[in-house]
Structure 1
Amino acid sequence: MSTIGVVQDLTGFFLSVGMVGAGVAVLCALIALTALAQGAAGVTGGAVAVWIGGALLSLTSGFSGQWLPAIIAGGSLVAALALGGVARVVLRSLQLRVKAVPVEASEAAATVTTIAQPARQLSVRTVTPESIR
């Protein structure tokens, strides 16, 4: 096999490895986005750590002259971190809005039950030897 044939075979191999690496990086960026939106810092850190490996694999496509997988991998994490931060703010505001409504409803329910039921009178009972029989 000539040198040109070997180079063409390696180019195809490096391109496919770069595409797989970009796919792993995009998948990890999506996991980081959802974890960041939910406030799970450990999962976000783990997803970004695996993203680094995928991004390094996507750089191998550069040996075949194709830089698009590396650009996609890098852009996916930037977009995930930006959108995850925005999603976190939106989810927290929605959670606060939802929690505010039941508190008012539970206060109204507590007021209704307090008015409907009279308060119990507690008394102290003294135990004597004659009351035991």
Structure 2
Amino acid sequence: MANELASILVPIGVVGAVLAALCAIVAGVAIMRGAAGLAGGAVGLWIPSAMLSFTASFANQWTPLLVSGVVLVAMLVIGAVVRGVVNAGEPARESARAARIQALVDAPEPAVAPKATKAPSTGSLPALAG
């Protein structure tokens, strides 16, 4: 009986671990991009997937549950580190952009001679107010 139960629960646990790993990868990428809503949704979906991977533990198979937990922690750490590196480069990029804008503002305007405008002739009729 226990062997038959294990043949059902272990594949369910493995599928849960795969789904949890996919959710963890999405969460890590979302953190890298700064999309907090997507990261929260991915972690929210990771929870039931991890619970599904827990079913393998009833057959004394703890690997799916451990894999799902380790992948989540690893992706959250990697996402936070990459986001920190990206944010560290932001001030340099912003200062370069501000310098380009300031150079455009400080540039002298080209000297253009004003065009001589002449009112159109209406002949003998008075000009209409426009």
TM-score by length of structure 1 reads 0.76
Aligned to 1:117: 110
Could you list the runs of 5+ residues in structure 1 that have no partner in the other structure?
A: 1-5, 120-130
Could you list the runs of 5+ residues in structure 2 that have no partner in the other structure?
A: 113-126
| 1:69 equivalenced with 2:64 (yes/no) | yes
Matches within 5 A, 1:47-126: 47-112=42-107, 115-118=108-111
Q: How many Å separate the matches in 1 of 2:78 and 2:27? A: 10
Q: How many Å separate the matches in 2 of 1:43 and 1:68? A: 27
Q: How many Å separate the matches in 2 of 1:97 and 1:22? A: 41
Deviating 4+ runs (over 3 angstroms): none
TM-score by length of structure 2 reads 0.77
Q: 2:22 aligns with which of 20, 23, 27?
A: 27
Which has the larger helix fraction?
1
Identity value in percent = 34
Deviation at 1:116, TM superposition (A): 3.9
Deviation at 1:118, TM superposition (A): 4.9
| 1:37 equivalenced with 2:32 (yes/no) | yes
Q: Which digits, 9 at most, give the CA deviation of each residue in 1:9-51, with x for residues without a partner?
A: 2212111111110111111111111111222221111111110
- Alignment size in residue pairs: 118
